[in-house]
């Protein structure tokens, strides 16, 4: 299983389409409510796709990013918050805004804990919706680029040979070249050449930068 599969279990794609225009996914089992939400969102000049149930969304979503999911909570079958929990369990990280007619505390807490951007209480104003969507998209954008970066780092690390990896572990812990050479029972020269190879593959110029990257993606190596 490659790194990519970990993040996108729904479809076997090698690369996520990297476009900039976000899509807003709207889920509501009440047809009028759904249509009205879609009308409003599309009038805000955003691309929108709608679904009548959480199940439909799960079956169709292709992992497009950047994206924001705007879902009603109380629906027949799977509820909005249940959908959110399911997505997080499947490691789908797109931003989610939950709509509900009656925002009980328990529901709110549960939604936020599962990573919803916010809870929108119906009926909501246009401004409230816009704010929510903006926050969601921003969050989604940031998270997405982070994910991409982490992915890149993982690829880079995977490209290291096992001997380079050994060196990496030691120098990330602050060991000098000499100490590394002794530890691995090789010459300093070997250590130096491996080190520069590592720097090359990881696209860094210093140990500090290297450690930063490692901490993001593979903290277990330090």
Partner 1 sequence: MPANILLLLLLLLLWLQSDVTVTPTLVQAAQTHTIMLNAAGSLSGLAQAIPAGSQIAEPWHNSSLTWVGYATAAAVVFVVILLRKMRTVTQHLDQLKKVVAEQSSNLEVSNEKYRWLIEGLHESYVLFTSTQDGLITHVSPSVKNVLGYEQSEIINMTWKSLMESGDSLDDTLKNALKRKTALVVEAPVRCKDGTARWLELTQFPLKNPSQADEQRECIAKDITQLKQVKENLTAARDDLERRVRERTNNLQEVNEQLNQEIEQHQATSRRLNQSELQYRSIVEDQTEMVIRFDTHGTLMFANRAYRERHSLTLESLHEFNVFSAVHPNDREAARQRVAAIQTSEPIRIPLMRTLDEKGNADWADWSGRALFDEDGVLLGYQGAGRIITDLVQAQQKLEESELQYRSIVEDQTEMILRFGTDGRVTFANTASAVANGMTPEESIGRQYLTRVFKDDRDNVRQIVASTTVEKPVQQFDVRCYRPDGTISRESWSCRALVDSSEELREYQAVGRDITELWETRRRLDEKEQQLTHLARISALGEMVAEISHEINQPLATIANFSSAARLVLVQPELVEDDLLKLRTWSEKTIQQTNKINAIIHRLRRFVRPGSEHERFCIKDAISEAVLVTEIRTRHSIQQIEVECPEDIPLIKADKIQIEQVIVNLIRNACDSMDDQPYGERRLSISVSATKQEISVCIADSGPGVPPELAAGIFNAFVTTKPDGMDIGLAISRSIIESHGGKIKTIADDGGRFVFSLPIHQHGAHD
Using CB under 8 A as the criterion, which residues of the chain lie in contact with partner 1 when the complex forms?
30, 32-33, 35-37, 39-40, 43-44, 74, 76-77, 99, 101-102, 104, 122-126, 129
Spatial CA neighbour of 64 closest among 95, 33, 30, 106: 95
Give the whole-angstrom CA distance, residue 159 versus residue 55.
39
CB of 98 to partner 1, least distance (A): 13
CB of 135 to partner 1, least distance (A): 18
**Strand, coil or helix: 122:** coil
Query: Between residues 73 and 195, which has the closer beta carbon with respect to partner 1?
Result: 73
Query: Between residues 79 and 95, which has the closer beta carbon with respect to partner 1?
Result: 79
Tokens for 92? 């789908």
CB of 110 to partner 1, least distance (A): 15
From the number of C-beta atoms within 10 Å of its C-beta (0-12, 13-18, 19+), residue 210 rates as buried
Decide if 100 contacts 73 (C-beta within 8 A): yes
Query: Between residues 123 and 174, which has the closer beta carbon with respect to partner 1?
Result: 123
CB of 87 to partner 1, least distance (A): 21
Query: Between residues 77 and 174, which has the closer beta carbon with respect to partner 1?
Result: 77
Query: CA 178 → CA 160, 181, 186, 215, 219, distances in Å?
Result: 21, 5, 10, 24, 24
Query: Between residues 80 and 167, which has the closer beta carbon with respect to partner 1?
Result: 80
CB of 83 to partner 1, least distance (A): 16
């Amino acid at each position: 299983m490659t790194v990519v599969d970990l993040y996108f279990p729904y479809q076997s794609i090698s690369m996520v389409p990297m476009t900039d225009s976000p899509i807003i996914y709207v889920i509501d089992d009440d047809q009028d409510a759904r249509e009205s939400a879609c009308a409003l969102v599309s009038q805000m000049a955003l691309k929108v796709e709608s679904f009548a149930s959480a199940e439909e969304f799960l079956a169709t979503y292709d992992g497009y990013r950047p994206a924001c999911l705007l879902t009603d909570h109380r629906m027949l079958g799977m509820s909005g918050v249940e959908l959110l929990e399911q997505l997080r369990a499947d490691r789908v990280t797109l931003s989610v805004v939950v709509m509900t007619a009656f925002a009980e505390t328990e529901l709110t807490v549960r939604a936020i804990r599962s990573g919803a951007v916010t809870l929108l209480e119906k009926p909501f104003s246009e401004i409230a919706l816009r704010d929510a969507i903006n926050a969601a998209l921003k969050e989604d954008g940031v998270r997405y680029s982070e994910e991409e970066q982490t992915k890149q780092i993982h690829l880079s690390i995977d490209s290291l040979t096992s001997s380079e990896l050994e060196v990496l572990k030691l120098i990330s812990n602050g060991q000098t070249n000499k100490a590394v050479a002794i530890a691995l029972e090789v010459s300093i020269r070997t250590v130096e050449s491996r080190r520069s190879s590592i720097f090359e593959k990881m696209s860094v110029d210093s140990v500090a930068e290297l450690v930063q990257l490692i901490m993001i993606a593979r903290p277990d190596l330090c």
